[in-house]
């Protein structure tokens, strides 16, 4: 019999799924994701899996976000780990940078994570096969990885076929979505993928659907498509020549939106994206080589580092060569910074340039991360106001200080998670025959209010843990 357990499914972040089945007289288990609870979750302490008591044969990571893959080091050394190959390299880049940084106190832990991630025998990556990925065969399980659109690049959902003697064809099928969305550049493929690959055009049915539901508690948030956001960014950058940006270094799609928007301004040298560190430059280089090999949207060709501002870019043929800073003042720029005091100095440089009359506009700041980090309060469904537990006070202060200096702060972001209608569309399309488990959500019960077929509504099971 196949058994599905979801731990911490009723919070956003840190959810762990364990599937077990009996095969040739033994119990076999696989785990999907082992990450950390997000700050502001009700249960701050991470869920501890009883590795000794209930050993798992393998751990699969849906994507590289810390709330899914953040506790890699706690997985016993004998257990193989499966993930996307670009996801693996993104994680290596992150931990290499932190392992070298003197601004973190757990640098040694990061160096150990790099060593682990580089262990080829233990870390297995999904291998491409035509338009899809090779099926992973394990005792009692076959796991088919499918690429999904999310704010992390190289994210997957898994179709798991568990050996099950009680089923007529000997198999129990589980579709685990991981985090996904329909409004990104690659989101449109979800429905055809379900029809052609998951259902094999009606030949194969899914028994259980495990589906994320982050947006159930954030349904008041406006969901722009990634391309709509790009258009808004293009209009904004057209009006504002000196733009700073706060955006995650691993959110490829949004970085591409802002970079492409900067290309649309048609300012010769103003189309450069300046980044705050060598680490950030490396991630863009990785995305250009991987995602950029499929489509030009993900190619970042004009990239420079803010720390090289006072150098002269190579290949300049001018009689009096210009430094990057002079070029930034003359032609404008898009520059990624972090919402930390250390990076505020870059904004100040251009405020000073404005005050000195070298540039004719004040710099602006685009905040493109989840607004939940910079809101003091949360407004509940019935309009009640509560202190927002996910807020980052330092970020709120940083944005406030910029505004006090006269910097226009523009919030422009789109979610990495499926909008409520998309959740309903996926449930209807997958049409699970047995059960639906909502996870990665604070409002699992609200799944019953989704516009889905009545018989599917009956199959929704919410996990108590």
Residues in the chain: 465
- Residue 457 CB, shortest distance to Zn ion, in Å, is 27
- Residue 414 CB, shortest distance to Zn ion, in Å, is 14
Piece of the chain touching Zn ion by CB under 5 A; list 172-180, 235-243, 310-318, 374-382: 172-180
| Distance of alpha carbon 175 from alpha carbon 416, whole angstroms | 19
Angle at 338 between CA 335 and CA 342, to 5 degrees: 105
Where are the alpha helices (H) located in 43-150, listed in sequence order? 66-69, 85-100, 107-117
Piece of the chain touching Zn ion by CB under 5 A; list 28-36, 58-66, 243-251, 453-461: 58-66
Site for Zn ion in 280-299 (CB under 5 A): none
- Residue 26 CB, shortest distance to Zn ion, in Å, is 33
Helix or strand holding residue 357 (H, E): none
Among residues 69 and 309, whose Cβ is nearest to Zn ion?
A: 69
Quote the longest CA-to-CA distance of the chain: 80
65 binds Zn ion (CB under 5 A): yes
Piece of the chain touching Zn ion by CB under 5 A; list 179-187, 200-208, 407-415, 418-426: 179-187
Among residues 150 and 281, whose Cβ is nearest to Zn ion?
A: 150
By C-alpha distance, which of 83, 89, 92, 87 is closest to 123?
83
Among residues 182 and 332, whose Cβ is nearest to Zn ion?
A: 182
- Residue 53 CB, shortest distance to Zn ion, in Å, is 29
| Distance of alpha carbon 69 from alpha carbon 92, whole angstroms | 12
**What is the separation of C-alpha 390 from the centre of its chain, rounded to a whole number of angstroms?**
17
Piece of the chain touching Zn ion by CB under 5 A; list 33-41, 178-186, 226-234, 262-270: 178-186
179 binds Zn ion (CB under 5 A): yes
218 binds Zn ion (CB under 5 A): no
Which phi and psi angles does 327 have, rounded to 5°?
-65, -40
Among residues 149 and 179, whose Cβ is nearest to Zn ion?
A: 179
Based on the number of CB atoms within 10 Å of its own CB, is 263 exposed (0-12), middle (13-18) or buried (19 or more)? middle
Half-sphere exposure of residue 107: CA atoms within 13 angstroms, side-chain side: 9
Contacts of 281 (CB under 8 A, 6+ apart): 275, 303, 305
Please answer whether residues 114 and 183 qualify as being in contact, where contact means their C-beta atoms are separated by less than 8 angstroms: no
Among residues 21 and 415, whose Cβ is nearest to Zn ion?
A: 415
253 binds Zn ion (CB under 5 A): no
Piece of the chain touching Zn ion by CB under 5 A; list 35-43, 59-67, 188-196, 449-457: 59-67
The number of residues that bind Zn ion (CB under 5 A) is 2
Among residues 67 and 164, whose Cβ is nearest to Zn ion?
A: 67
| Distance of alpha carbon 218 from alpha carbon 443, whole angstroms | 10
Among residues 150 and 282, whose Cβ is nearest to Zn ion?
A: 150
- Residue 44 CB, shortest distance to Zn ion, in Å, is 19
Piece of the chain touching Zn ion by CB under 5 A; list 20-28, 83-91, 98-106, 177-185: 177-185
Among residues 143 and 418, whose Cβ is nearest to Zn ion?
A: 418
- Residue 182 CB, shortest distance to Zn ion, in Å, is 15
Site for Zn ion in 115-154 (CB under 5 A): none
Contacts of 228 (CB under 8 A, 6+ apart): 414
- Residue 223 CB, shortest distance to Zn ion, in Å, is 16
By C-alpha distance, which of 424, 421, 420 is closest to 436?
424
DSSP string, 189-201: GHHHHIIIIISTT
Distances (CA, A) of 92 to 56, 85, 115, 116, 278: 24, 11, 9, 9, 14
Among residues 63 and 110, whose Cβ is nearest to Zn ion?
A: 63
Among residues 8 and 65, whose Cβ is nearest to Zn ion?
A: 65
- Residue 380 CB, shortest distance to Zn ion, in Å, is 24
* Positions in the binding site for Zn ion (CB under 5 A): 65, 179
């Amino acid at each position: 019999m196949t058994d599905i357990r979801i731990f911490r499914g009723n919070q956003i972040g840190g959810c762990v799924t364990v599937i077990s089945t009996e095969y040739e007289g033994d119990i076999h288990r696989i785990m999907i994701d082992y990450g950390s609870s997000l700050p502001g979750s009700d249960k701050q302490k991470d869920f501890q899996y009883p590795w000794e008591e209930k050993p798992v044969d393998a751990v699969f990571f849906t994507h590289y976000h810390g709330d899914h893959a953040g506790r890699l080091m706690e997985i016993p050394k004998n257990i193989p780990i499966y993930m996307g190959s670009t996801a693996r390299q993104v994680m290596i880049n992150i931990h290499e940078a932190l392992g070298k940084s003197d601004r973190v106190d757990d640098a040694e832990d990061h160096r150990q994570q790099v060593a682990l991630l580089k262990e080829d025998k233990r870390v297995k990556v999904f291998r491409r096969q035509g338009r899809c990925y090779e099926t992973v065969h394990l005792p009692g399980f076959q796991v088919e990885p499918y690429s999904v659109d999310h704010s992390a690049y190289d994210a997957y959902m898994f179709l798991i076929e568990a050996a099950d003697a009680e089923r007529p064809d000997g198999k129990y099928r589980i579709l685990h979505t991981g985090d996904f969305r329909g409004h990104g550049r690659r989101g449109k493929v979800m429905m055809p993928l379900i029809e052609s690959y998951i259902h094999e055009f009606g030949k194969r049915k899914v028994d259980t659907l495990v589906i994320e539901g982050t947006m159930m508690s954030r349904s008041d948030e406006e969901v722009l498509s990634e391309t709509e956001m790009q258009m808004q960014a293009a209009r904004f950058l057209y009006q504002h020549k000196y733009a700073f940006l706060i955006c995650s270094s691993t959110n490829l799609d949004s970085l591409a939106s802002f970079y492409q928007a900067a290309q649309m301004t048609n300012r010769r040298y103003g189309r450069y994206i300046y980044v705050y560190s060598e680490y950030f430059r490396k991630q863009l280089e990785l995305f250009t080589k991987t995602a950029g090999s499929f489509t030009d949207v993900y190619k970042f060709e004009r990239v420079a580092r803010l720390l090289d501002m006072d150098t002269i870019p190579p290949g300049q043929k001018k009689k009096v060569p210009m430094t990057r800073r002079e070029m930034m003042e003359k032609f404008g720029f898009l520059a990624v910074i972090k919402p930390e005091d250390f990076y505020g100095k870059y904004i100040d440089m251009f405020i000073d340039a404005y005050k000195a009359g070298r540039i004719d506009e004040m710099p602006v700041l685009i905040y493109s991360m989840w607004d939940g980090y910079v809101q003091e309060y949360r407004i509940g469904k019935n309009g009640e106001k509560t202190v927002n537990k996910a807020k980052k006070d330092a970020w709120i202060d940083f944005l406030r200080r910029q505004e006090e200096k006269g910097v226009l702060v523009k919030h422009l972001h789109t979610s990495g998670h499926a909008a409520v209608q998309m959740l309903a569309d996926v449930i209807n399309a997958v049409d699970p025959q047995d059960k639906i488990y909502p996870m990665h959500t604070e409002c699992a019960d609200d799944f019953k209010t989704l516009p889905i077929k009545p018989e599917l509504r009956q199959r929704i099971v919410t996990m108590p843990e």
